[in-house]
Amino acid sequence: MAEVDAFGTLHVDRLSKVTDELNEFADDADVLFVEGPREEPDDSDELGMLLRNPALYFTGIILDWFWGILGFLLTRQFKPVDGVATETVALRKDLDIKPVDLNLPRRASEVSLIITALSWLWFVIAAVIFVLGVLASSIGVLIFAIAVGFLPVVPFAYWTLSERDEVMAENIEEILSSNDELNSGCLVAGRGHIDGVVEELEESDVEVSQVHKSKWLRRTL
Protein backbone atom coordinates (compact mmCIF):
# COMPACT_ATOMS: atom_id res chain seq x y z
CA MET A 1 0.00 0.00 0.00
CA ALA A 2 1.26 3.48 -0.89
CA GLU A 3 2.04 5.81 2.00
CA VAL A 4 1.87 9.58 2.44
CA ASP A 5 3.23 11.86 5.14
CA ALA A 6 1.43 15.18 5.68
CA PHE A 7 3.47 18.30 6.46
CA GLY A 8 1.45 21.39 7.39
CA THR A 9 3.11 24.75 6.82
CA LEU A 10 2.65 28.48 7.21
CA HIS A 11 3.29 30.68 4.17
CA VAL A 12 5.32 33.13 6.26
CA ASP A 13 7.98 31.59 8.49
CA ARG A 14 11.74 31.21 8.87
CA LEU A 15 13.07 29.67 5.68
CA SER A 16 15.88 27.73 7.33
CA LYS A 17 13.51 26.29 9.93
CA VAL A 18 10.91 25.13 7.40
CA THR A 19 13.58 23.74 5.08
CA ASP A 20 15.30 21.77 7.83
CA GLU A 21 12.03 20.41 9.21
CA LEU A 22 10.76 19.36 5.80
CA ASN A 23 14.10 17.86 4.83
CA GLU A 24 13.98 15.66 7.92
CA PHE A 25 10.26 14.89 7.73
CA ALA A 26 10.29 13.88 4.05
CA ASP A 27 13.32 11.61 4.42
CA ASP A 28 11.56 8.56 2.95
CA ALA A 29 9.51 10.34 0.29
CA ASP A 30 9.67 9.45 -3.40
CA VAL A 31 7.72 12.56 -4.41
CA LEU A 32 6.52 15.84 -2.90
CA PHE A 33 2.88 16.87 -3.29
CA VAL A 34 1.96 20.56 -3.02
CA GLU A 35 -1.28 22.54 -3.05
CA GLY A 36 -0.65 24.20 -6.40
CA PRO A 37 -3.14 23.47 -9.21
CA ARG A 38 -2.63 20.08 -10.85
CA GLU A 39 -4.11 21.54 -14.02
CA GLU A 40 -2.35 24.85 -14.59
CA PRO A 41 -4.78 27.74 -15.29
CA ASP A 42 -4.68 29.04 -18.85
CA ASP A 43 -5.82 32.33 -20.40
CA SER A 44 -9.42 31.12 -20.74
CA ASP A 45 -9.55 30.29 -17.04
CA GLU A 46 -8.22 33.73 -16.11
CA LEU A 47 -10.63 35.47 -18.50
CA GLY A 48 -13.55 33.43 -17.20
CA MET A 49 -12.73 34.40 -13.64
CA LEU A 50 -12.37 38.07 -14.59
CA LEU A 51 -15.76 38.11 -16.29
CA ARG A 52 -17.68 35.91 -13.86
CA ASN A 53 -16.06 36.84 -10.56
CA PRO A 54 -14.06 40.08 -10.80
CA ALA A 55 -13.96 40.65 -7.04
CA LEU A 56 -12.08 37.38 -6.54
CA TYR A 57 -9.97 37.93 -9.65
CA PHE A 58 -8.44 41.15 -8.37
CA THR A 59 -8.25 39.83 -4.81
CA GLY A 60 -6.24 36.90 -6.15
CA ILE A 61 -3.79 39.26 -7.86
CA ILE A 62 -3.34 41.25 -4.65
CA LEU A 63 -2.87 38.06 -2.60
CA ASP A 64 -0.25 36.76 -5.03
CA TRP A 65 1.67 40.00 -4.68
CA PHE A 66 1.21 40.02 -0.91
CA TRP A 67 2.64 36.52 -0.41
CA GLY A 68 5.26 37.18 -3.06
CA ILE A 69 6.54 40.36 -1.43
CA LEU A 70 6.64 38.77 2.02
CA GLY A 71 8.43 35.77 0.53
CA PHE A 72 10.93 38.04 -1.22
CA LEU A 73 11.73 39.82 2.05
CA LEU A 74 12.45 36.47 3.70
CA THR A 75 13.97 34.45 0.85
CA ARG A 76 14.93 36.86 -1.94
CA GLN A 77 12.50 34.96 -4.17
CA PHE A 78 9.04 36.17 -5.15
CA LYS A 79 7.34 33.10 -3.63
CA PRO A 80 5.87 32.05 -0.27
CA VAL A 81 8.46 30.71 2.17
CA ASP A 82 7.03 27.18 2.19
CA GLY A 83 7.21 27.07 -1.61
CA VAL A 84 10.89 27.99 -1.60
CA ALA A 85 11.59 25.44 1.15
CA THR A 86 9.82 22.71 -0.83
CA GLU A 87 11.84 23.46 -3.96
CA THR A 88 15.06 23.42 -1.94
CA VAL A 89 14.27 20.04 -0.38
CA ALA A 90 13.18 18.61 -3.72
CA LEU A 91 16.49 19.69 -5.25
CA ARG A 92 18.51 18.21 -2.38
CA LYS A 93 16.71 14.87 -2.55
CA ASP A 94 16.24 14.83 -6.34
CA LEU A 95 12.45 14.56 -5.97
CA ASP A 96 9.67 15.63 -8.30
CA ILE A 97 7.10 18.15 -7.10
CA LYS A 98 3.52 17.27 -8.02
CA PRO A 99 0.77 19.90 -7.61
CA VAL A 100 -2.51 18.29 -6.54
CA ASP A 101 -4.91 21.16 -5.88
CA LEU A 102 -7.88 22.58 -7.77
CA ASN A 103 -7.62 24.97 -10.68
CA LEU A 104 -8.82 27.86 -8.51
CA PRO A 105 -9.43 30.45 -11.28
CA ARG A 106 -11.69 27.97 -13.07
CA ARG A 107 -13.46 27.06 -9.85
CA ALA A 108 -13.95 30.73 -8.97
CA SER A 109 -15.62 31.33 -12.35
CA GLU A 110 -18.11 28.48 -11.83
CA VAL A 111 -20.70 30.65 -10.11
CA SER A 112 -24.30 31.61 -10.69
CA LEU A 113 -25.35 34.80 -12.46
CA ILE A 114 -26.48 36.19 -9.11
CA ILE A 115 -23.00 35.71 -7.65
CA THR A 116 -21.49 37.28 -10.77
CA ALA A 117 -23.72 40.34 -10.37
CA LEU A 118 -22.84 40.63 -6.68
CA SER A 119 -19.14 40.20 -7.49
CA TRP A 120 -19.23 43.04 -10.01
CA LEU A 121 -21.15 45.24 -7.55
CA TRP A 122 -18.63 44.53 -4.81
CA PHE A 123 -15.72 45.22 -7.16
CA VAL A 124 -17.22 48.57 -8.22
CA ILE A 125 -17.78 49.59 -4.59
CA ALA A 126 -14.19 48.72 -3.64
CA ALA A 127 -12.84 50.47 -6.76
CA VAL A 128 -14.83 53.65 -6.05
CA ILE A 129 -13.59 53.75 -2.45
CA PHE A 130 -10.04 53.21 -3.67
CA VAL A 131 -10.30 56.06 -6.21
CA LEU A 132 -11.73 58.35 -3.53
CA GLY A 133 -8.78 57.45 -1.33
CA VAL A 134 -6.35 58.31 -4.12
CA LEU A 135 -8.07 61.63 -4.82
CA ALA A 136 -8.12 62.50 -1.13
CA SER A 137 -4.55 61.22 -0.61
CA SER A 138 -5.92 59.30 2.35
CA ILE A 139 -3.98 56.20 3.45
CA GLY A 140 -6.85 55.24 5.75
CA VAL A 141 -9.39 55.22 2.93
CA LEU A 142 -7.03 53.25 0.69
CA ILE A 143 -6.52 50.63 3.39
CA PHE A 144 -10.27 50.45 3.92
CA ALA A 145 -10.80 49.97 0.17
CA ILE A 146 -8.31 47.10 0.09
CA ALA A 147 -9.97 45.53 3.15
CA VAL A 148 -13.38 45.75 1.45
CA GLY A 149 -11.91 44.22 -1.69
CA PHE A 150 -10.49 41.30 0.30
CA LEU A 151 -13.77 40.33 1.98
CA PRO A 152 -15.12 38.08 -0.84
CA VAL A 153 -12.17 35.71 -0.52
CA VAL A 154 -13.31 34.69 2.98
CA PRO A 155 -16.55 32.90 2.00
CA PHE A 156 -14.90 31.47 -1.12
CA ALA A 157 -12.08 29.97 0.94
CA TYR A 158 -14.60 28.57 3.43
CA TRP A 159 -16.92 27.10 0.78
CA THR A 160 -14.14 25.44 -1.18
CA LEU A 161 -11.99 24.18 1.70
CA SER A 162 -13.51 20.68 1.91
CA GLU A 163 -13.74 20.48 -1.88
CA ARG A 164 -10.04 21.26 -2.24
CA ASP A 165 -9.14 18.75 0.46
CA GLU A 166 -11.09 16.05 -1.38
CA VAL A 167 -9.51 16.90 -4.73
CA MET A 168 -6.00 16.89 -3.25
CA ALA A 169 -6.58 13.46 -1.70
CA GLU A 170 -8.00 12.07 -4.95
CA ASN A 171 -5.09 13.41 -6.97
CA ILE A 172 -2.53 12.02 -4.52
CA GLU A 173 -4.16 8.60 -4.70
CA GLU A 174 -4.34 8.71 -8.51
CA ILE A 175 -0.69 9.76 -8.92
CA LEU A 176 0.59 7.07 -6.56
CA SER A 177 -1.58 4.31 -8.03
CA SER A 178 -0.62 5.14 -11.61
CA ASN A 179 3.16 5.11 -11.03
CA ASP A 180 4.77 1.91 -9.76
CA GLU A 181 7.99 3.76 -8.94
CA LEU A 182 6.25 5.91 -6.33
CA ASN A 183 5.57 4.15 -3.05
CA SER A 184 5.80 7.00 -0.58
CA GLY A 185 4.96 10.67 -0.87
CA CYS A 186 4.93 13.77 1.31
CA LEU A 187 2.18 16.36 1.08
CA VAL A 188 3.33 19.92 1.80
CA ALA A 189 0.27 22.11 2.29
CA GLY A 190 -1.11 24.88 4.46
CA ARG A 191 -1.97 23.80 7.99
CA GLY A 192 -5.66 24.43 7.35
CA HIS A 193 -5.76 21.70 4.71
CA ILE A 194 -3.93 18.94 6.55
CA ASP A 195 -6.77 17.55 8.70
CA GLY A 196 -9.22 17.47 5.80
CA VAL A 197 -6.81 15.84 3.34
CA VAL A 198 -5.73 13.25 5.92
CA GLU A 199 -9.37 12.43 6.65
CA GLU A 200 -10.03 11.92 2.94
CA LEU A 201 -6.88 9.80 2.47
CA GLU A 202 -7.86 7.57 5.38
CA GLU A 203 -10.92 6.54 3.36
CA SER A 204 -8.77 5.68 0.33
CA ASP A 205 -6.13 3.08 -0.50
CA VAL A 206 -3.37 5.44 0.66
CA GLU A 207 -2.01 5.05 4.19
CA VAL A 208 -1.13 8.21 6.12
CA SER A 209 2.11 7.42 7.96
CA GLN A 210 2.72 10.59 9.93
CA VAL A 211 1.37 14.12 10.27
CA HIS A 212 3.26 17.24 11.30
CA LYS A 213 2.04 20.81 11.68
CA SER A 214 4.90 23.26 11.70
CA LYS A 215 4.96 25.84 14.50
CA TRP A 216 5.55 29.47 13.62
CA LEU A 217 9.23 30.37 14.00
CA ARG A 218 9.89 27.35 16.26
CA ARG A 219 11.39 24.04 15.25
CA THR A 220 9.30 21.09 16.38
CA LEU A 221 11.17 18.21 14.73
For residue 215, what is the DSSP state? P
Q: Strand 184-190 and strand 207-213: pairing?
A: unpaired
User: CA 50 to CA 52: how far, in whole Å?
Assistant: 6
User: CA 104 to CA 60: how far, in whole Å?
Assistant: 10
Q: What is the pTM of this model?
A: 0.92
pLDDT of residue 217: 83
pLDDT of residue 72: 94
User: CA 70 to CA 81: how far, in whole Å?
Assistant: 8
Residue 8 is assigned to a structural domain of this protein: yes
User: CA 10 to CA 4: how far, in whole Å?
Assistant: 20
Residue 218 is assigned to a structural domain of this protein: no
Residue 195 is assigned to a structural domain of this protein: yes
- Going edge to edge, which strands form the sheet with 96-101? 96-101, 31-37, 184-190, 3-9, 207-213
Helix (H) or strand (E) holding 183: none
Residue-range definition of the domain harbouring residue 174: 3-110+150-213
pLDDT of residue 37: 95
Q: 179, 181, 175: which is closest to 204 by C-alpha?
A: 175
Residue 17 is assigned to a structural domain of this protein: yes
Residues whose CB is less than 8 angstroms from the CB of residue 139 and which lie 6 or more positions away in sequence, other chains included: 133
Ranges of the chain with pLDDT below 50: none
Residue 183 is assigned to a structural domain of this protein: yes
pLDDT of residue 200: 95
User: CA 105 to CA 129: how far, in whole Å?
Assistant: 25
Residue 168 is assigned to a structural domain of this protein: yes
Residue 140 is assigned to a structural domain of this protein: no
Helix, strand, coil in percent for the chain, rounding step 5: 60, 15, 25
- Per-residue pLDDT tens over the stretch 39-78: 999 999 999 999 999 999 999 888 888 889 999 999 999 9
pLDDT of residue 150: 86
Residue 85 is assigned to a structural domain of this protein: yes
pLDDT of residue 119: 96
Number of domains in the chain: 1
pLDDT of residue 189: 96
